[in-house]
Amino acid sequence: MSNDTIKYTPSDTSYEGKQDFTITVYAEDRVGLLNRISIIFSKRKINIDSLNTSPSEIAGIHRFTILINESYEVVRKLARQIEKQVEVLKVYFNTDSEVIWQELALYKVSTEEITEKVTVERLLRQYGATAVVIRKDYTVFSVTGHKEETDALVKALEPYELIEFVRSARVAIIKDSAGFHEKLKEFEADEPGEERVENEFLDKGEKIFTM
């Protein structure tokens, strides 16, 4: 590795094996682009753990957040293939320590069951859950957090007839990102920038408080 501003050199060996990577894609909002992106994974028989599409900080630009469990090498190649698509502006990929992320989970349980056997209050407190709806026949809780946290409540509710469970895709904020506004200006210029940064937020170290 000759130039460390150009190539990211994994600093620790944990990059060698598979781990969770959050891939953030800034793209034009166009019909069919999701398919173009998703086939890049399916072509290689790689499963997407979660995928979220949402608006970004810039009007008209879409942000895909894709979670996969793969090795650094595989993710790097995937990122380049995605970035190559005509309507994709930029792709970032980050390890868990480089992003702040959340997932939202909803749980539906029988109100009768749960009031008989556990106290709702205890659940709410212990798992940071919120009761979204309380009806005679069922109650819906929501928990926002990491997978381990939302999974823990699934386990806790298992004895009490969990009627329905759903978890949203991961949404993530890149700790070191200063937003996409500056980058976009560069893209809107006719001439490409000279900088060739493979993944500008990967090698910056943690500048902010880590949760």
Distance CA 181, CA 205 (A): 22
Q: Which of 12, 137, 158, 188 binds other proteins (CB under 8 A)?
A: 188
Q: Is 56 helix (H, G, I), strand (E, B) or coil?
A: coil
| Residue 182 engages other proteins in binding (rule: CB under 8 A) | no
Q: CA 117 from chain center: how many Å?
A: 35
| Residue 12 engages other proteins in binding (rule: CB under 8 A) | no
For other proteins, the closer CB: 117 or 196: 196
Q: Which of 4, 9, 12, 35 binds other proteins (CB under 8 A)?
A: 35
User: Within 69-108, which residues bind other proteins (CB under 8 A)?
Assistant: 76-77, 80-81, 83-84, 86-89
Distance CA 61, CA 43 (A): 26
| Residue 181 engages other proteins in binding (rule: CB under 8 A) | no
Q: For residue 156, how many other CB atoms are within 10 A of its CB?
A: 17
Tell me phi and psi for residue 13, to 5 degrees.
-70, -10
Q: For residue 108, how many other CB atoms are within 10 A of its CB?
A: 18
Interface residue list for other proteins (CB under 8 A): 2-3, 6, 27-28, 32, 35-36, 39, 43, 76-77, 80-81, 83-84, 86-89, 184, 187-188, 190-194, 196
